A = this chain, B = another copy of it.
């Protein structure tokens, strides 16, 4: 991230393109036919704050989707960089072809049917609220009912990303990228900005 590039104002249109920005990597969990299955996914976001909701967009071809709909439950787990090989495996190998229930140590929360990953620093347990049809993808919107973590990953009671060590997907060059250093305070850096 050391190159210094200047905007020269000459715009070109690449056409309709997704993912020209870094995306956080997660593992989405669902029980399919009673067995835990996990899919690596970077198309997810916070969708509402009260109650807290998360949205995940998955290609309709994925094995995971049926499990989410059957159980009306899923999880979004945040892997640390230490889990990068296992996470990537869960994107390379479909649940249609391999049983992924033994890849991680699995636990369940209050919903009972949203499998989560013990090895992941953060897991959000979600109750399915809505399915939005987006053509080739469907979007699952879930209410977050629990956020599981461990004392080790907290600072002053909240999840500390410096301890979690999540990673991002740079889609175009097919690379996983770690987080760098903090560079400014949010809701603060622009206080003295004069347009």
Contacts and interface: CB of A to CB of B under 8 A. Distances in A.
Interface in A146-189: 146-153, 155, 158-189
Contact of A13 (B42, B147, B174, B177): B147
A23 interface: yes
A34 interface: no
Nearest to A93: B190
Interface string A1-45: 111011111111111111111111010000000000000001111
A55 B162 contact: no
A149 B179 contact: no
Contacts of A183: 81, 84, 167, 175-178
B21 A166 contact: yes
A107 B7 CA distance: 14
9 contacts: A11-B149, A12-B150, A18-B144, A20-B149, A88-B184, A139-B141, A169-B186, A177-B179, A179-B179
Contacts of A73: none
B16 A144 contact: yes
A187 B91 contact: yes
B185 A179 contact: no
Q: Which of A118, A148, A155, A186 has the most CB of B within 10 A?
A: A186
A191 interface: yes
